[in-house]
Amino acid sequence: MDNPEYTVYLYPSPNSLKVIIALEELNLRYQTVVVDLAEGQQLAPAFAALNPNRKVPVLTAGDLTLFESAAILEYLATTHDQLMGQTVQHHWQIKSWLYWHAAAFGPMAGQAHHFRCFAPEHVPYAVRRYSDEMNRLYGILEEQLAGREWVCDTYSIVDIGLWPWVRHHDWQGQSLINFPSVQRWADAMAARPAAIHAVERYPIQLIAPHKYGVLLNQTAASLKASSTEEEIN
């Protein structure tokens, strides 16, 4: 692409998908760089220089580098003056729900995914704990969406942030039959051209079980595990 405005470092995952949807919704020029988590590319010094937390996604724009998907969504919406509300009250409502998605819905969904689908051993307490918590969070989302087209009334970065996780409600032990307002909203999200393009281009890629080691066994020592800088291109 000629003169991309942004570069996104990603691995096909819910958190990365949100950034692609936002860029598409805002009709921005961008290029992508896939960081192979299964091969440990996120631990390489070249990537650690972009994100000290060694996670995707990362967004760069000239000299600016951002990590954490919610921060990236907020930056894009604020910079391009879209998807963040038209009044001060609405703006802060969107921020409240954005932080709820980042602090509660996304992390709990990720834990549910892990213990229900990917953990090398079955841990009944963990499965029950995170499945029940996701059920509670879906209940909150159902209440919010009852009588509303979008989570914060008008389409916003909150909808973009939540939907990639809701797409995999079955991984979290949930059925949208129990949450009809969420189902209606999720169907509307799935029909948006930006979401369709993002899913077609970056479908979620499951990591083979024999590759889990590099993801599951990280400690502080892992931060220094790669002494040779690997090129991310």
Per residue in 208-229, pLDDT (tens digit) is 666 666 777 788 887 775 544 4
DSSP bridge partners of 64? 61
pLDDT of res. 231: 54
Instruction: Flag whether pLDDT at 117 surpasses 50.
Output: yes
Report the distance separating Cα 127 and Cα 125, nearest Å: 5
More confident residue, 206 or 86: 86
The pTM for the full model equals 0.93
Instruction: Flag whether pLDDT at 123 surpasses 60.
Output: yes
155-173: average pLDDT: 97
117-143: average pLDDT: 96
What length does the chain have? 233
Q: Six-digit token pair at 147?
A: 């009588």
- Tally of CB atoms within 10 A around 225: 12
Instruction: Identify which of 17, 158, 190, 152 has the alpha carbon closest to the alpha carbon of residue 77.
Output: 158
Per DSSP, the chain holds a count of helices (H) and strands (E) of 10, 4
Q: Within 13 A of 68's CA, how many CA atoms are on the CB side?
A: 12
Percentage of residues in the chain having pLDDT higher than 90: 79
- Tally of CB atoms within 10 A around 148: 12
Query: b/e map of 176-197 (b: 16 or more CB within 10 Å)?
Result: beebebbbebbeebeebebbee
161-177: average pLDDT: 97
pLDDT of res. 110: 95
Domains of the chain, residue spans? 6-81+197-224, 88-192
19-33: average pLDDT: 97
Instruction: Flag whether pLDDT at 166 surpasses 90.
Output: yes
Q: Is 203 exposed, middle or buried (0-12, 13-18, 19+ CB in 10 A)?
A: exposed
pLDDT of res. 38: 85
Query: What average pLDDT does the structure give for the chain?
Result: 92
DSSP 8-state class, residue 154? B
pLDDT of res. 216: 72
Cα separation values, 24 from 71, 77, 95, 144, Å: 17, 12, 21, 26
- The CATH code for residues 88-192 is 1.20.1050.10
pLDDT of res. 120: 85
64-79: average pLDDT: 98
Report the distance separating Cα 160 and Cα 195, nearest Å: 9
pLDDT of res. 218: 80
Instruction: Identify which of 114, 97, 158, 109 has the alpha carbon closest to the alpha carbon of residue 138.
Output: 109
pLDDT of res. 227: 46
Instruction: Flag whether pLDDT at 138 surpasses 80.
Output: yes
- Tally of CB atoms within 10 A around 154: 15
| 41-55, 136-150, 184-198, 202-216, range with the lowest pLDDT | 202-216
Instruction: Flag whether pLDDT at 230 surpasses 60.
Output: no
Q: Which fold has domain 6-81+197-224?
A: Glutaredoxin (3.40.30)
54-82: average pLDDT: 97
